[in-house]
Amino acid sequence: MESRLEQELKAWKEREQRLSGLLTSSGFNGSELLKRRLAHYEMLQAKFLSTQHPGDREALKDLRIERRQIERKLYPNLLVRLARRIIVYLDIKQRASKIDKQDLARQEQIKAELVKAGLGGYSQQVIARMKFEGNEFTLPVAWNMPGRNRMDLQVQFKRDQQGHFQYQGYQATVIPETGKRQSFQVDAGQGMQASQAYNMLSGRAVHVNATWCQLDMNDRDASGNCKIRHFPPDFRFDLHEAVNKLPFKDLEDVDRIIHALENGDRVSAGLILQGKKQDAFLEADPRWGRVTILNSDLERIDDGKEKAGNVVAMRFKKDLPDEQVKKRSRPVKL
């Protein structure tokens, strides 16, 4: 595979061939074309001066030889040539320093994006890879969760038109012990952390950028990734109201519970169910406008599993009549 410098040299030569006829007809002679070529090569020398990519390093050696040949043709006088080399050397160093500062700024930006994605611990690996990679690369990450659960991430990076790497996002995949492989793509800018991606792959919803998101395991794109269902603010699922109406057996940190549910976590809580104190688990379910209550076996507590008791107000489609709400959501009975 061609290195980036080799690709740029090839693109320049193709462009030069297209322009040579036009420039010649406009009065440019051969020396003018050589000067343009030399100037472009000096720009490439500055751009790739700090590269660690083996292919680029080899291409730089070839580029230096060709530059020397052009210099001899344009500047046959040795003293003129040597004086020019000093000036060009200082100019290349100055340009390279500016490019290095831009690269450092871009690296800091990528670090910040990785931290936001919950992948800050991999920043140094990414920065090291950026020095040796071509136009794009992926960093494989094994995201271990409690127990034997694991999520595999392919964190993606690609160069922009200016040659700087940009964080593209990641593909998250879980292969359950039983069941079909589940995966989906998280693009840069979505603001979704890796832990939230795991919760999504576990079937739970997360609250990101003021929108509830949940995977549709039965709807996939051409790459086999599960599609994301979005429940925007106007969907009117009021998590705060749902949590505050739960019959907690003790004084609970409601803000902590709400934050965990928005993150897509399954939250343990003590509730008063059927007049008895019981330990249960909570999950946010924006699709049906409720907080789902699970027993110790992770079975939903409803009228099919728990008899009698009062109906807790778990539905929040206030703009819909009661009969329409009932069609969209089963009430939880306690």
Contact by Cβ (8 Å): 215, 184 = yes
In the structure, how many helices (H) and strands (E) does the chain have? 9, 12
pTM comes to 0.75
Give the model's pLDDT for residue 311: 31
Q: Tell me phi and psi for residue 48, to 5 degrees.
A: -110, 15
Percent helix, strand and coil across the chain, each to the nearest 5: 45, 25, 30
* Domain boundaries along the sequence of the chain: 4-107, 118-232, 236-333
pLDDT of residue 328: 35
Query: In terms of Cα–Cα distance, which of 116, 98, 5 is closest to 52?
Result: 5
Residue among 87, 57, 56 nearest 71 (CA): 87
Q: What is the pLDDT of residue 329?
A: 33
**pLDDT number for residue 307:** 35
Beta bridge partners of 276: 273
Categorise residue 183: left if φ over 0, alpha if ψ from -120 to 50, beta otherwise.
beta
Q: pLDDT under 70 in the chain at which residues? A: 1, 21-29, 146-148, 178-179, 302-334
% of the chain exceeding 70 in pLDDT? 85
pLDDT value of position 302: 59
Kind and range of the H or E run holding 41: helix 30-47
Residue 13 confidence (pLDDT) = 86
> Beta strands 182-187 and 206-208: pairing type?
unpaired
The pLDDT value recorded for residue 143 is 85
Report the pLDDT value the prediction gives residue 38, as an integer from 0 to 100. 93
Predicted confidence (pLDDT) per residue in 147-202, tens digit: 667 899 999 999 988 888 999 999 999 877 766 788 999 999 888 999 999 999 98
Q: How far is CA 217 from the centre of its chain?
A: 21
